[in-house]
Amino acid sequence: MSRSVYNYTIDVLKKVSFNPLLFKKELSKASSRLLPYEYDELIIWVKKFTFENPHLEKVLV
């Protein structure tokens, strides 16, 4: 079940990626919803995604 939450979180992050503030808010929510190892995987995904979308780089600071 938890893996579906992980996949849902990625889908939501992709959909709100047009707005860095929403992206940051959803990323913050994910930290409380996901298991620790899933959150670590998500951070790896976010780093790759923000590299491809430079307007989101401020989120990681």
The pLDDT tens digits of the residues spanning 3-37 come to 899 999 999 999 999 999 999 999 999 999 999 99
> Maximum distance among all alpha carbons in the chain?
32
Burial label for 56, CB within 10 Å (0-12, 13-18, 19+), is: buried
Q: CB neighbours (10 Å) of residue 30?
A: 21
Residue 59 near residue 27, CB atoms below 8 Å: yes
- Cα angle 57, 41, 8 (rounded to 5 degrees) comes to 85
Q: pLDDT-derived band of residue 1, with 50, 70 and 90 as boundaries?
A: low
